[in-house]
Structure 1
Amino acid sequence: MSFPRKTHWTREVTAELDGKEVTVAGWVWEVRDLGGVKFIVIRDREGFIQVTAKKGVTPDPVWNIIPTLGKEDAVVVKGVVKASRIARAGVEIYPEELHVVAKSKPLPLDIWGNVETDLDTRLTYRSIDLKRPENSFIFRVESEVLRGIRETLYNHGFIEVFTPKIIVTSTEGGAELFTVQYFERIAYLAQSPQLYKEELTASLERVFEIAPAYRAEKHNTNYHLNEFISVDIEEAFANYMDVMGILEDVIVNVYDRVNKYFGGELRKNNIEVRIPKKPFKKITYDEALDILEKRGLKVNWGDDVPKAGMEILSEEIGEPFFIIHFPTDLRAFYTKPLDQDPKISESFDLVINGLEIASGSSRIHEKEMLIEALRKRGLNPDNFASHLMVYDYGMPPHAGWGMGLYRLMMVLLKRENIREVVLYPRDRFRIEP
């Protein structure tokens, strides 16, 4: 099958191209037949464009194809741009060629907004569900979010790395692991790149990774998944306050970029992106517990702050904020205690709209202290021998954080369920498509 190559996205066809020839490609959204005039609305990833055919003006081969078109047929149209006061976008295309490159059967769910479809059905037919513009829009935004994250980190002197996802031991000592039959031995899917990124600070100094992570935990919430994208950084010669500053820059740049490129579309859907102001407010773990107790939620010292507590704190503070200085025993073994009070750690969580988005800390960089921390948690240092070896050769003080990309997307786009911002989510009940 021969057809001309696409030259323009629909959003690029503007009145400034009046009289120019373009080729667009996409899917038939709507066909309206008014007798001597026929309108075809074509959708691509970036939006919609109207194609206007007039009897006696449009070439006969094109005119004769139009009545055969069905919704979601994939088409390529070559034609001349005409500025129009009537067309919704202020512009239309007069077709010279129309190629039907794939026919579509009736869809198993409605993408035009006439019939509401439950999320489970949408996920079963995910590739079709993404034809709905408001759903595909999520992933256009997500791509720009990733660009903003990378831009910020590169500007801070970080380099991007990729660490193994098949490992021989737990990186965090507690979370459940997915097992993998790795030839003659058992291995595991990585929960995070934590130990690798710490080791890399001894050579590459500032590293980041954006990659899948896996947790075999039997959650059944709107904000947990078993496979997710984790954004991780680690910085040498730095502490938890330093990397909190990096995290602030990442969040502010992301919000700024999304507002710049997608603000208009978001406002059409009643979503306002408020760019946070730096520095973000910081409250200690003890202060957080005091606020919650005054609001009627008692959290025992040493317990983690529950989701309901995060929501109350967000109501109280009203903007992104950090909780700092968690109890040392509450955090992973590599978390550095405060020098003046070892019961408390140099740690933090970032909370936005009642959801923990990121978690980080200063790390222990002294080998004997790390071995003691492992033993205190019932972990065998021998299982971490290859990691501990690095600490014999000039391991610098270092700090870092991990951020859940999908959680950030949830709060940014104000979605109620994390599965809406994942192309093909994986949880304890869903492993296809």
Structure 2
Amino acid sequence: MEDKIIAENELGDWRRSHYSFQISNSVINQVVTVIGWISSRRDHGNVLFVQLRDRFGDTQILVKKKELSETIFESLKSLKEHSSIAIRGRVVEQKNSSNEFEIMPEEVKILSVSNKSAPFLTQAISSIGIDTRLDLRAIDLRRNHLQNVFKIRNTILNSIRGYLSDNYFVEVNTPKMIATATEGGAALFPIFYYDREAFLAQSPQLYKEQLTMAFENVFEIAPIFRAEPSRTNRHLSEAMSIDVEKAYVDYNDMMDYLDNLIRFVIQSINEKNQMELKSLGIDLPDMSRPFSRITYSQLIENLQNSHKYIRWGDDISPKLLKDVFGDEFYFITDWPASTKPFYVKSKKMDLLTDSNTGDDSHVLSESFDLMYGSLELSSGSTRINNKVNLMDNMKKKGLSHKAFDYHLRVFDYGVPPHAGFGLGLERLLMAILKLDNIRDATFYPRDIDRLTP
């Protein structure tokens, strides 16, 4: 049987009078206007039960054939999920519940019609593969599961901004089109910038360091771009980074700030998102103790004592960390200077003797990574604020002084001691909500295989 053609109405002068959460005892027997999309419907012949979804939740619409024109009733009866409608009607109590309300429509506007059956159930975690879901991401984001995820994401962003602002940080914006690599890596996206080559920014690092000269304490929440050819469930080519930089402190101070920031975020979620947490079945991480700290050298020794094959100076794979740490926040500190970018300060007189080679030239750095289990969430450090030392470190890393002249020149004017960190928003959300795939922590993910939608 072919679908009937349903006429769509103009919005005209209709405007919403109430959101779903405002339908309560205070408006019983009043005429209200609600607008949204159909999340589900039940057809009982001459009676329809329609769930109308707005940004806060569902309102039940009780549609009786005998109380509407046949044209309007048949149109509503034919509508599929995801169609948008506006209802003007009277609020009544549901007969089978003393605490719920529904609306009996007196007028209806059909604003947009869904021509296909819903590809996903809005009430459940979808069994459809993530790539299929991402092809229709706007529809996917209507599912209850992701609605809850992104409401919590919104709380995270608001709480971070609130915490940093209350601690005298200034929110800044830095260029996303740059002339040279921030960290000297190869993982860059080149772009055409008028008549020359430029790159998408991997990090706001050098700019936020410079801004400490003017504002002391700065932060930025913005996208970063990494051309890493990775297909893991924890990597994105475009991610949101929370970058923080503060003058007159070192990396120990910044670990304290980051610890307190995460605690504030968890507290805010606990206060504002109980319904979402319950729906997701999530218990928030335990925040009763400060995050533990273990040095890189101590961790390597522990792994070696556990018969793991790893040498001092190696990166530490997530697989190795899974065997050591559970679902907890912790810092790995004092990484080898050779593994860190050129702007990271080395620890004075801190050398380590490699038991395998006898080499005592392994310089440590004033650096840290914040981890949750085996997932890296943040990296931070004390930065080099002496021009000669910075230039020496750039030379060791094989970087051209000329390429970074725009940055080096400000060091002639006394850059203050400073430290900071970058925190991945999607990874933080992944850790807190135990998401399996980082692509469900961002609206429209970009990775090695996906450039649309």
Q: TM-score, normalised by structure 2?
A: 0.90
User: Which of residues 279, 282, 299 in structure 2 aligns to 1:288?
Assistant: 299
Listed one character per residue, the Cα deviations across residues 310-347 of structure 1 (whole Å, up to 9, x for unaligned) are 323322xx521111111111111111111231611110
Is 1:235 paired with 2:246?
yes
User: Which of residues 12, 36, 49 in structure 2 aligns to 1:39?
Assistant: 49
The equivalences for 1:165-204 within 5 A come to 165-204=176-215
SS of match in other structure, 1:338:
strand
- 121-130 or 19-28, which moves further after superposition? 19-28
SS of match in other structure, 2:18:
coil
- 267-276 or 211-220, which moves further after superposition? 267-276
SS of match in other structure, 1:141:
helix
- 318-327 or 232-241, which moves further after superposition? 318-327
CA drift at 1:16: 4.1
Code of the residue aligned with 1:4 in structure 2: it is: W
Code of the residue aligned with 2:89 in structure 1: it is: G
Instruction: Find the counterpart in structure 1 of residue 359 from structure 2.
Output: none
Instruction: Find the counterpart in structure 2 of residue 257 from structure 1.
Output: 268
CA drift at 1:256: 1.5
CA distance in 1, matches of 2:98, 2:347: 61
Instruction: Find the counterpart in structure 2 of residue 375 from structure 1.
Output: 395
Instruction: Find the counterpart in structure 1 of residue 334 from structure 2.
Output: 325
CA distance in 2, matches of 1:173, 1:31: 56
The equivalences for 1:330-409 within 5 A come to 330-341=339-350, 343-409=363-429
CA distance in 1, matches of 2:350, 2:144: 53
Residues 415, 163 of structure 1: alpha-carbon distance in 2 compared, 3 angstrom cutoff: same
8 Å CA contact retained: 2:378, 2:424: yes
Residues 362, 278 of structure 1: alpha-carbon distance in 2 compared, 3 angstrom cutoff: farther
- 375-384 or 20-29, which moves further after superposition? 20-29
Listed one character per residue, the Cα deviations across residues 280-331 of structure 1 (whole Å, up to 9, x for unaligned) are 111111122233234442321111211113323322xx52111111111111
CA distance in 1, matches of 2:67, 2:107: 13
CA drift at 1:22: 2.5
8 Å CA contact retained: 1:167, 1:190: yes
SS of match in other structure, 2:349:
coil
Q: TM-score, normalised by structure 1?
A: 0.94
Residues 22, 310 of structure 1: alpha-carbon distance in 2 compared, 3 angstrom cutoff: farther
Code of the residue aligned with 1:251 in structure 2: it is: I
CA drift at 1:56: 4.6
User: Which of residues 140, 143, 147 in structure 1 aligns to 2:154?
Assistant: 143
- 15-24 or 56-65, which moves further after superposition? 56-65
8 Å CA contact retained: 1:5, 1:23: yes
Residues 357, 61 of structure 1: alpha-carbon distance in 2 compared, 3 angstrom cutoff: same
Structure 2 unaligned residues grouped into runs of 5+:
1-9, 352-362
- 105-114 or 300-309, which moves further after superposition? 105-114
- 86-95 or 142-151, which moves further after superposition? 86-95
Listed one character per residue, the Cα deviations across residues 147-202 of structure 1 (whole Å, up to 9, x for unaligned) are 01111110111011110011111111124211111111111111000000001111
Code of the residue aligned with 2:295 in structure 1: it is: T
- 291-300 or 96-105, which moves further after superposition? 291-300
CA drift at 1:88: 9.9
Listed one character per residue, the Cα deviations across residues 208-247 of structure 1 (whole Å, up to 9, x for unaligned) are 0111111112111110111111110100111111111221
Q: Percent identity?
A: 39
CA drift at 1:350: 0.5
Listed one character per residue, the Cα deviations across residues 74-130 of structure 1 (whole Å, up to 9, x for unaligned) are 111122222335259712112222111001011472234497211111111111211
8 Å CA contact retained: 2:191, 2:199: yes
Residues 249, 32 of structure 1: alpha-carbon distance in 2 compared, 3 angstrom cutoff: same
Instruction: Find the counterpart in structure 2 of residue 420 from structure 1.
Output: 440
Code of the residue aligned with 1:355 in structure 2: it is: L
Structure 1 unaligned residues grouped into runs of 5+:
none
Residues 241, 276 of structure 1: alpha-carbon distance in 2 compared, 3 angstrom cutoff: same
CA distance in 1, matches of 2:315, 2:30: 62
CA drift at 1:66: 2.8
CA distance in 2, matches of 1:248, 1:196: 24
User: Which of residues 65, 83, 86 in structure 1 aligns to 2:93?
Assistant: 83
CA distance in 2, matches of 1:158, 1:247: 13
CA drift at 1:57: 4.7
Listed one character per residue, the Cα deviations across residues 330-373 of structure 1 (whole Å, up to 9, x for unaligned) are 11111111123161111001011320000000001111110111
Instruction: Find the counterpart in structure 2 of residue 118 from structure 1.
Output: 129
- 344-353 or 137-146, which moves further after superposition? 137-146
CA drift at 1:54: 3.5
SS of match in other structure, 1:203:
helix
- 264-273 or 200-209, which moves further after superposition? 264-273
CA distance in 1, matches of 2:133, 2:299: 39
> What number of residue pairs does the alignment pair up?
431
8 Å CA contact retained: 1:292, 1:312: no
Residues 249, 88 of structure 1: alpha-carbon distance in 2 compared, 3 angstrom cutoff: farther
